[in-house]
Structure formats: structure tokens, C-alpha cells
Structure 1
């Protein structure tokens, strides 16, 4: 795929901070709208599945998308690199929009059924497998390398906004016309992203390599994995991401629910803790958006991971709700900062021709490995209580930070500036 030339209009934005770049702002609006559509879709799918079947059947429908997503994610990275990330994101959003609107029309004409919902979940899972690597590779094509940390901050703010606003929007859709209306709303929100992405101009990148002769898709995949394995920054960075997410997923998902139940905080208390985490993560995203560049990014990433792991472990030993909310704010701030810096380092360190495959591997270690810890964390808390389980999870997170501090290439890694 030939990268769209930057052209005069794109060069006029050179030197602008990302939050003042019209192209970046159009991308941000498209990404936010797409994420809002995702949030509404998941609420609509959950509501429709519960109405159409038993709780067990609804759980199966909700988890159906995980298998094709994990199985096809690496192939999605190859596709993103071969076709270009913007083209893949546009195509993915178009398919997801059409699928959501088709199910909405079906539900308007008939009643809720499990098979259409399961099929929709499969489609979304398969499309996510190409969408996620392309989304991860796109920022480097729309802004200068020295603005990537700021773009990661903007992306984090968009994710937080979508998670906060998506549920009420989905609930409003369900209240007005049931799941069919909510699915239609999700499809329309995703559709908004398409013309916005079409209008985004891409930058020419050095050593892009996308016009070079290619072998098979399997050869491309092996080449991408070899690029990561031999890279002095990317290899330890992938291990840091994997360990951090593996230790983080259990306590902050199922573990927090069980902890709130044991402490007597109830659903409202758990909501306050989650709100504290969201506020901390949002503050980290805002900090990166305003500041733009963090000196000694590799070192800061490792320190944030280690310190954040201590905060994760402390959650299980804080008896008062107010103190737990404060600790959750610290967890969100540190993990949000390390996560955004990891994303920026991935995009600046990876060869432009391998960005999609690098993003796919990062997504696989997060989406494929991290959820595996949740059932084990729940079972372990039932046997030993939250304290030991949170402590072990914190140690795993801290090990990820230790990798970043011990690996010389990652520890000394800098963002362009």
C-alpha cells in the first residue's frame, strides 16, 4: 500500500502540538465515536442476550467474540501492515456498523434470539482482530514522532470518556426502544468515524517498506515476530506489558468485586473505587496530553510499573472505603502513565513497516494472556482470601516493571523530542 502523501495541507500542521493539529483532532473524534459505539454495543448485546436466554446462555454470547479475536489477532497485524492501518480501520468500522444495524433491523422485525446475537458477537470478534492492530499502528501515520506521547494521552482521554458516557447512552437507547434501538445507536456512532477517517491525511514515513516485494502472509508474520525478538527495546517491552497486564487484570476485575463484598462496601462502594481508578487514569492521560513528552520514558515506565504494583497490592489491606478510593486513584495514575508510555515507545521504536504486527503482539499479550488470570484469581481469593492473591498479583506487576529497569535498552529508551 502506498502511504498517502502528506501534501501541502499536511505540512502546514508540522510543528503543531497534537491537540492543535486538525488531522489529529479528526482522528480523535473518529476514535471517540467508534469507542462510544463499542460501549453502547456491549450494553445492548448484554441486555438482548439476557432477555433472549438464560444467564448461562447470555454469558456464552458475551464471551463468543473472545475466541476469533485472540485466534486472528496476529493475522490482523499482517493485514494492517499490508493494506495500511487507516484503510483497515475504515473497513473494520464499516463492517461493524453494518452488522450492528442489521441486527437492529432484525430485532425491530422479530423478537430477540440468541443465534443472531451470537453471530453478531462472532463478527465483532473477528473484525476486532484486524481493527485493534490497525488502531495501534495509526497514530504514527498521522502525527510526528515527538507528538506520540501526547496522542497516547488523547487516546486515553477518549477511552475514559467512552467508558463513562457509553453506558448511559446505551441505557437511554434501551429505555427508548429496547435492544434494537441501542444496536441502531451503536451502528450510527461507529458510522460517524468513517468520513472523519477518510478526511485524515497520512504522513510519509521513512523506511516504510510497504511497497517492497512481499512473501506469504506467514512469512510476513514470522518477519514481524523476528523484528520484535531481536529488538533491544521491543522485546523487553513486550514482556513488561505481558507481566503488567497479567498481574493487573485479576485484582482490578473479579478481585475488586470480591474484595468489596468482603469489606461490606457493596456495589456503591465498588463503584467509588472504580471511579477513583478512572480518575487517576484520566489524570495520567491529561498529563501526557498537556506535557507532550516525558524525559527518560523507559526509566519512568519501569518506575511507574513498580510503584503501581505496590499500590495494587495495598488495595487488599485498606479497610476504609475512602482510603481504598485514594489508593485506586494512585493505581490509575501510575498504570495509566506506564500504559500510555508503553504505547508511545512501541510506536516510536518499531520499524514503520512492522507497526501493525507489533501492535498485534502487544494486543495479544494483553487480551489473550491477562483474562486468563481472572478465574484463577477468583478461585484463589475464595481459598486464601484477597490479601495473598493481591500480593502475588502485585509481585507479577512489579516483575514487569523490574524487566523495564533491568533491560538496558528499555531503561535508556527515550521518546523523540
Structure 2
């Protein structure tokens, strides 16, 4: 257990800057709008069959994955705020066009795929910029708390998005959901125009080509022992933590004869654990050694995943409790890995390293989902879930043993 000295002392903490809180409120509203829109898009696509539904999802993920590193280079070249303004303006126009088209015509597969492609393309540039933006709004000393509040708000937005999307589809259809999302983009656009960064962040040289800049972001991360270790831990978390809720919980519920509601309770327990830890960190601060905190998060999640894997005979309550512990470990990991990367990254490479972090997570998740799905088919969902617990524990212990992660301290 970490000593009391490893946690930031002092009961009186300066409040987070108002500009950051305004920016956070706007961007989380937009994130909620996106989460609300994803359900209606999937619902409308499902009316045309599973192939169309898969094509719409692919139209989002493929351009986002292919263009992420380029998006990071653009963010470092032209500034995170400017990229976000352009991205919000494009998405405002796209969602208004979707609302207009769906109100006059049926939601054709071509329309849905086109909108999905716009979403994925904008995400490739917007996500790295949004990830780098807090560095220009808060000082390094407040960065961990700021990112913890962002994590909690983002988790709540994601949690509420699907249910709100279902309600909107029932009440107003795809048109209403698109208009709601457009309203959130309008709010963020106003916020970004009004909010001014409080801290200067150096931009990448204009003489550097964008493709060369994207490659240089990979070079910097691979050559820095702290950033390299952080990326490896992120890949492990994506492979062993994320599939537990999205893939293995439904498989476990079906195998044990539980209802869909039971699977939802387990997922809700994990979200509760993430939010609780994020709020705690936002108030009390992170562990002084950020790398150790991220690695400990994986170790904390491991027994929770084990409880979920072994809950067949014990019942749903044990699985829900395991989900809460899993979420607590996930929240601890996320609240330490974010400031670790943002604090350790050069100012000229903030967006590029955020892009690389997202790309590593996405690729590891694809590999993990497919491998765990095959293992669940061969040996059962409990075996695949137990493999996640073992993998998370092994990754956490490895992270604790890595010297670069142990040396970096949060001031």
C-alpha cells in the first residue's frame, strides 16, 4: 500500500481555473451528444440489415484509425484550440444536414455511411487536440486533478448516452437526435471561441511536413523510456480491461442464464467504480509516482475481474461487486496514465502523443477482443475472463518493476 507521503498533502487546494471548467462543461456536453447520436445511427442502420450496421461502424472506426497520427501532427502544428474549432464547425454542419435529410427522406444506407465517415474523420483530428487542450488551460501541478474530473464527466456522459439516445429515437427519431447533437456542437463552438488558453504551449516547426511530424511523434514516444512504458501499459489495459464489460459480460450472462439486466448491472458497477475513483482523485490528488499509480490500477482491477469470472455459482451480486472493483482499478489507471503522458510529453508533441495513445488503445482492443472471443468460444467465457484477470495482474506487476515509471514523480 502506498504511504501517506505518496499522496498530495493539504486540505486547502486551489480551485481549478474557471476557463478549464467552462471548456470541460462544453466538451462533455458534446461528448454526451455524440453518445446520444451513436445509438440512433446504429438503430437506423440495423433496419437495413447486419451488413449495413457493420459498414456504418466501420465508416467511423476506419478513417479515425488511419488518420489519427496525421491528426495529432495537425494539432501540434496549428494548435489544439484551432483544430477543435474547425472540428466543431464541421460536425455542426454535418449534424444539421443529417437532421434535414432524415426529416425529408428515409435514412438510406448511403446517408448513414456518409455521416459516419465524417464523424470518424473529424474524430481523428479532434480527439488528439481535445486530449492536448488541458495542458494549455491548467498548470502541471493541477493537471492530474483536472484530468480526473474530465474522466468522471466523460464516464457519466458515456453512461447516459445510450439510454438518452433510445428515448430520443422513440420520441423524435433520427432527426431529433441529430438536432440534439447539433445543439451540443453549437455550445462547444461558442465556448471555444470565448475560452482563451492560460498557458503557452510550443508548436511544432512549420518547416516540418505533416507526415514527417506524425512519424516524429512515434519516434519521440519510442525513444522516451517513460512514454514507451506508458504506451505499453495502455495497450495492456485496452487488451485486458476494456473487453470485460463490452465483450465478456454479455457472454458470461448468457452462459450463466442471467438476464440482460444482470449484465447491465455489472457494467453499471464498473462505471460506478470508475466515477468514484475519478472523483476521489479530483479531490485528493494522485499518487506522487504517476507510473506506479497506473500500474497499481491494473493490479487492483485483477481481483475484481477474477470475481466476475468466478461469480457463476455465487450469483449476480458477486459479479456486480467484482465490476465495481474492476472499475475502481480502471479509474485508478486512467487517472494516472493521462497526466503521466501529458506531463512527460514535450510541448511540441502533445497532440501527436495523444493520437498515439488512442491508436495504441484501439489496436490493442481489436486484438484483445478477437483473441478473447476465440478463447471464450473454445473454453467458455469464465476462462476468457480469468485470462483477463491474469493478464491485468501480470501487466500491473511488470509496470511496478519498470524503473522509468518508478522514477517519475508528480510535484
Bigger mean CA offset, 153-162 vs 280-289: 153-162
> Is 1:238 aligned to 2:231, yes or no?
yes
Q: Aligned to 1:403, which of 398, 408, 411?
A: 398
> Is 1:291 aligned to 2:287, yes or no?
no
Map 1:262-341 → 2, pairs under 5 A: 262-319=255-312, 320-341=315-336
Work out the CA distance in 1 between the residues paired with 2:57 and 2:341: 30
Label 1:174 to 1:413 Cα distance change in 2 as closer, same or farther (>3 A).
same
Work out the CA distance in 2 between the residues paired with 1:309 and 1:289: 23
- Whether the aligned pair in 1 keeps the contact of 2:138 and 2:199 (CA below 8 Å) is no
Map 1:5-16 → 2, pairs under 5 A: 16=14
Work out the CA distance in 2 between the residues paired with 1:212 and 1:378: 45
Map 1:18-417 → 2, pairs under 5 A: 18=16, 21-51=17-47, 53-205=48-200, 208-210=201-203, 212-319=205-312, 320-416=315-411
Q: What whole-Å deviation, never above 9, does each CA across 1:40-79 have from its counterpart, x for those lacking one?
A: 110120122123x113322321232111111011111101
- Whether the aligned pair in 2 keeps the contact of 1:248 and 1:393 (CA below 8 Å) is yes
TM-score w.r.t. the length of structure 1 is 0.91
2:8 equivalent in structure 1: none
Q: How many correspondences in the alignment?
A: 397
Work out the CA distance in 2 between the residues paired with 1:26 and 1:45: 29
TM-score w.r.t. the length of structure 2 is 0.92
- Whether the aligned pair in 1 keeps the contact of 2:299 and 2:329 (CA below 8 Å) is no
Structure 1 unaligned regions, length at least 5: 1-14
- Whether the aligned pair in 2 keeps the contact of 1:34 and 1:93 (CA below 8 Å) is no
Work out the CA distance in 2 between the residues paired with 1:376 and 1:238: 20
Structure 2 unaligned regions, length at least 5: 1-12
- Whether the aligned pair in 1 keeps the contact of 2:376 and 2:384 (CA below 8 Å) is yes
SS in 1 for 2:287: coil
- Whether the aligned pair in 2 keeps the contact of 1:279 and 1:332 (CA below 8 Å) is yes
Structure 1 vs Structure 2 CA RMSD: 1.7
